[in-house]
Structures are given as structure tokens and as C-alpha cells.
């Protein structure tokens, strides 16, 4: 009998790749969207799986809807990927970001508790919760959020841990560092850089405007990162894990690589001070030893290899 996986945020990058992975493992997939009218299933269509996923409307901020949905489908595994996930947008919309990212997690876990459902719960956390920390980041690193987004994700993590320790629910958090793919939303840095660089190459734009690019981040390949989510829920004991590449690269070097690959002069790069964030982490990268040793997760990609994949895939899909 097939397992049932319920995925919130099914229309996002991770939701689509996770659904694809689980379908290949013979899961039945229930994908939650806030409303059918706003349900963007381009990612599912791109991967050729839109007809293999059951899309269900559910407002995660409405406890009664969440309870009814989980009661109806009785999932074996719940992957909570839904969130307002833009750091920069969270400074503009702090209340909405924190309310949704916290209440949605509470409602899902409380529904599982109230229904006494024997299912496993995965919470998508973020490396952003660690703020400016001693590197490399580890699972034991002190949480120190410095943005409304990271505050919301830190709270969601502690809620997940609390339900695990207080009620015995199999609930765990994955602290994922930046991970990219063709399905990444256009408002994220790597995707924006590549799309604008292609416009410059095609004479549709003349410059690329960026904020602070003298910072470093730990970037990875999204299809491999969702494998770690799945592996976390296959363990006998729930725990929290860092999912990362073990190294950081500067945003400036990424732009230079993309420009060189597309034969674009660096004179097209424009630094705009108005795009700098109120607070910024100068460098961050994690240690994925625990995920590799305990989960058996395998990751050895260099990010410049990932960049090449991303640029080539974007070029193939550019009309």
C-alpha cells in the first residue's frame, strides 16, 4: 500500500522537486494550496507530474481547515514547506511574515496532536536563524535570528521541537542553506542574476543592479537537498539536521562567473546602495557531517558546477 505524503508549499521549488522524488518512490501526494485561483503549478508541469499530484485548497492559518484536511487524508508524512520565504520582503512585511510562518506550523502540529495521528512531520527551517555565528554552522550553534524572516523560522523550529519533546510527535526541522534550481522564484538572488544577465546578452537590458555583493553564502542544488528532507522522515528517531554544501562563495564571484560564461563585460554591473539590507550576515556556511553520517545523505557538488547547470537550463527555456 502506497504511503501518503502531504506537502504544503507544493507549488514552490522544493515542493515540486520533493513531490517528484516521492512519486518515484510510489507515494500518493496531496499538495496544499491557499486557493485554487492562485495555485501556480508551473513547477509541477515542468517536471511532468501535475497529473500525479492531488491539489487541495487549505488555508494554513485556519485551524479548522487544517484539522479537516489532515483528518480526511490521514497522511503518513507531512512536509511543511509553505512560508513567506524572502528575507528582504520580510523587512517590508514583518507582521505578515511572522504571523503566517508561525501560525501555520502551530496549526499543522496541533492538528496532528488533536487527531492523535501517527504521522511524521518535517519543518522547513533555514540557515538564516543562526545570524552572525562562529563558522562553520553546526546543529549545536546558538540560534540568533537577525531578520523578521529568520525570527519566524526560529520560532517555527522551537515549536516543532516542543511538540516532539512534549507530545512525542515525530517532528524534525531541516536547516537548509541556500539551494537553487531552474524552479527557483524570480525574486531570489541567483535566479535574478542569471535572468538579467541573459537579458543583457540578448540586448534586452544594459545593466545589472545589485546591493551588497561582498558577502558569502553556502549555495547548493535543490533536487539533492529535498532528498535530505525525505531521509529525515525515514529515521527511527526524529532529529534536526543542517543541509548544506560545507563551503561559501561570494556573490561577487557568482556574478563574475555568470558574466564570463555569457561573455558580458563587468562594466554592466551596477552597485545600488538602496538595495542594501538593514542587517546583513557577511559570511555563512555549514557543516553537513551529521546529515551525511546519520542520514546517509550524499552531496559533493561545487556551486560553480551547479551554476553551469542553471545557466544552461535557463538558456534552453528562454524564448
| CATH class for the domain made up of 4-179+219-243 | alpha beta
* CATH of region 186-218+247-283+302-317: 3.90.25.10
Residue-wise pLDDT tens digits, 71-129: 999 999 999 999 997 887 888 999 999 999 999 999 999 999 999 999 999 999 999 99
Listed as ranges, residues in the chain with pLDDT below 70 are: 37-39, 319
d(CA 122, CA 73): 17
φ, ψ of residue 287 in degrees (nearest 5)? -110, 115
Helix %, strand %, coil % of the chain (to 5): 45, 20, 35
Active site residue ranges: 126, 128, 149
> Could you give the percent of the chain with pLDDT greater than 90?
89
Cell 550553534 found at: 141
pLDDT at position 39 is: 59
What is the sign of the dihedral through the CA atoms of 55, 56, 58 and 64?
negative
pLDDT at position 8 is: 98
* H helical segments located in 245-302: 251-261, 289-290
Q: Give CA separation, 250 vs 139, 158, 222, 255, in Å.
A: 23, 31, 19, 9
- Residue 5 C-beta-side C-alpha neighbours within 13 Å: 28
Q: What is the pTM of this model?
A: 0.94
Residue-wise pLDDT tens digits, 239-249: 999 999 999 99
d(CA 287, CA 298): 13
- In sequence order, the 6+-apart residues with CB closer than 8 A to the CB of 61 are 99, 100, 103, 104, 107
Parse the chain into domains and list their residue ranges.
4-179+219-243, 186-218+247-283+302-317
Amino acid at each position: 500500500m502506497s504511503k501518503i505524503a502531504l506537502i504544503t508549499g507544493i507549488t514552490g521549488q522544493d515542493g515540486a522537486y520533493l513531490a517528484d522524488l516521492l512519486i518515484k518512490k510510489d507515494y500518493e501526494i496531496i499538495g496544499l494550496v491557499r486557493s485554487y485561483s492562485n495555485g501556480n503549478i508551473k513547477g509541477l508541469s515542468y517536471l511532468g507530474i501535475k497529473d500525479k499530484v492531488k491539489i487541495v485548497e487549505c488555508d494554513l492559518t485556519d485551524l479548522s481547515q487544517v484539522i479537516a484536511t489532515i483528518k480526511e487524508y490521514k497522511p503518513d508524512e507531512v512536509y511543511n514547506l509553505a512560508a513567506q520565504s524572502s528575507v528582504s520582503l520580510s523587512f517590508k512585511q514583518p507582521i505578515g511574515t511572522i504571523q503566517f510562518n508561525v501560525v501555520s506550523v502551530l496549526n499543522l502540529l496541533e492538528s496532528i496532536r488533536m487527531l492523535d495521528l501517527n504521522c511524521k512531520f518535517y519543518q522547513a527551517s533555514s540557515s538564516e536563524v543562526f545570524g552572525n555565528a562562529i563558522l562553520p554552522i553546526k546543529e549545536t550553534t546558538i540560534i540568533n535570528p537577525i531578520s523578521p524572516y529568520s525570527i519566524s523560522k526560529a520560532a517555527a523550529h522551537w515549536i516543532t521541537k516542543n511538540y516532539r519533546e512534549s507530545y512525542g510527535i515525530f517532528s524534525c526541522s531541516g536547516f537548509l542553506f541556500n539551494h537553487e534550481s531552474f524552479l527557483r522564484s524570480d525574486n531570489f538572488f541567483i535566479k535574478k542574476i542569471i535572468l538579467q544577465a541573459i537579458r543583457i546578452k540578448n540586448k534586452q537590458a544594459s545593466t545589472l543592479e545589485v546591493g551588497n555583493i561582498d558577502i558569502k553564502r553556502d549555495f547548493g542544488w535543490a533536487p539533492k537537498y529535498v532528498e535530505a528532507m525525505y531521509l529525515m522522515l525515514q529515521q527511527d528517531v526524529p532529529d534536526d539536521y543542517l543541509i548544506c554544501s560545507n563551503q561559501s562563495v561570494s556573490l561577487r564571484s557568482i556574478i563574475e562567473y555568470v558574466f564570463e560564461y555569457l561573455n558580458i563585460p563587468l562594466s554592466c554591473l551596477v552597485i545600488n546602495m538602496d538595495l542594501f539590507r538593514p542587517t546583513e550576515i557577511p559570511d555563512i556556511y555549514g557543516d553537513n557531517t551529521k546529515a551525511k553520517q546519520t542520514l546517509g545523505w550524499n552531496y559533493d557538488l561545487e556551486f560553480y558546477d551547479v551554476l553551469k547547470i542553471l545557466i544552461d537550463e535557463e538558456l534552453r527555456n528562454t524564448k
